[in-house]
């Protein structure tokens, strides 16, 4: 980059002298249009359960979803993302509850669509970890995750969610080839307008702990997920993953976690010019909340960090702060 001019004729501070001027030349802005609100679901009636390690975040029974979705709609947040806490008695090795037409996600989709119509979008996670007794995203056999066999189930899960009214199918499982197979089957079954947001770049991270508590998989997980989630040391591999998913039909791609991977967001945006989303994951959320609570940082860091995602190239951010900061962004 070439800077023309020199001091004292060039004084970069001049543009920073007043609030109106700073706003006028601002390069990146954060708005409610950039936010996606994750919501955790729990079976039963009139339930609002706190989640260990996630301050002010709750699991909601379907009939209490209005507690949180009303606010999201009022705040003009574009989309919610649904994640179920599945009772242990419903979990098994194959994650068959993921294909139950009466499971929590299906009920929640129908509830939101009936009550809110198209005033807010619905994004649904496609993976087996909330439903398996071993806590993995795919089928497990003798310690090995079965790729192709898992993809067959993910196709059925995606079709079920689309039938219920899901707007954005979001495979987070990291199985090879699943985007192409899901897209093909959605199109074949007249769901050509259902979007696919691929978790194309999902790292094997230590930041997921509170989320796994939220969906009830943490205590069940056998081993780790390093054979299918990415090595956090790699960046070129992320380019390959995104390239494959775009070729297979992804409409948008996700980078997860968020803040430690801003460089990856920038790399993908510069290389592919595709909508890129970031997930500010549970561990990031909890660290920020604890820092604010202890007075180590102040609450203004929330917007500063989220603006950092925008500066890196993210079109939107999945964040547990969505409803909390929406009013400040209007």
CA distances from 42 to 18, 46, 140, 187, 328 (A): 49, 10, 25, 31, 30
169: which 2 tokens?
Answer: 């199918």
Active site residues: 202, 256
Half-sphere exposure of 77 toward its Cβ, with a 13 Å CA cutoff?
A: 30
Give the CA radius of gyration of the chain.
Answer: 20
Positions of E strands within 105-216: 121-126, 139-141, 144-146, 168-171, 195-202
Contact (CB, 8 A) for 106 and 125? no
Please list the helix, strand and coil fractions of the chain in percent, rounded to the nearest 5, in that order. Answer: 45, 20, 35
Contact (CB, 8 A) for 129 and 135? yes
β-bridge partners, 202? 256
Q: Which of 140, 160, 291 is nearest to 228 (CA)?
A: 140
The label of the residue with tokens 């290389």 reads 271
Q: Determine the straight-line distance between the first and last CA of the chain, rounded to whole angstroms.
A: 34
């Amino acid at each position: 980059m070439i800077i023309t001019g020199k001091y004292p004729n060039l004084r970069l501070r001049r543009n920073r002298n007043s609030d109106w001027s700073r706003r006028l030349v601002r390069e990146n802005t954060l708005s409610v249009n950039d936010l996606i609100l994750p919501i955790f679901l729990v079976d039963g009636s009139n339930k609002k359960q706190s989640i260990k390690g996630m301050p002010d975040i709750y699991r909601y029974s379907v009939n209490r979803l209005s507690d949180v979705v009303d606010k999201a709609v009022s705040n003009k947040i574009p989309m919610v993302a649904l994640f179920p806490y599945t009772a242990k008695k419903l979990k098994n090795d194959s994650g068959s509850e993921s294909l139950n037409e009466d499971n929590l996600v299906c009920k929640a989709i129908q509830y939101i669509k009936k009550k809110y119509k198209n005033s807010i979008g619905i994004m649904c996670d496609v993976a087996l970890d909330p439903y398996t007794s071993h806590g993995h995203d795919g089928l497990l056999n003798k310690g090995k995750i079965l790729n192709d066999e898992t993809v067959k189930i993910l196709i059925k899960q995606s079709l079920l969610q689309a039938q219920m009214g899901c707007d954005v199918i979001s495979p987070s499982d990291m199985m090879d080839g699943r985007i192409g197979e899901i897209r093909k089957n959605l199109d074949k079954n007249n769901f050509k307008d259902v979007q696919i947001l691929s978790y194309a770049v999902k790292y094997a991270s230590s930041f997921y702990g509170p989320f796994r508590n939220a969906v009830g998989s943490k205590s069940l997980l056998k081993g780790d997920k390093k054979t299918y989630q990415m090595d956090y040391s790699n960046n070129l591999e992320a380019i390959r993953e995104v390239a494959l998913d775009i070729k297979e039909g992804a409409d948008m791609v996700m980078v997860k976690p968020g803040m430690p991977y801003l460089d990856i967001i920038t790399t993908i945006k510069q290389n592919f010019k595709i909508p890129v989303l970031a997930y500010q994951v549970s561990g990031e959320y909890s660290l920020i909340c604890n820092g604010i609570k202890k007075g180590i940082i102040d609450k203004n860091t929330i917007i500063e960090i989220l603006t950092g995602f925008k500066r890196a190239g993210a079109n939107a951010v999945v964040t547990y702060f969505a409803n909390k900061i929406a009013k400040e962004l209007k």
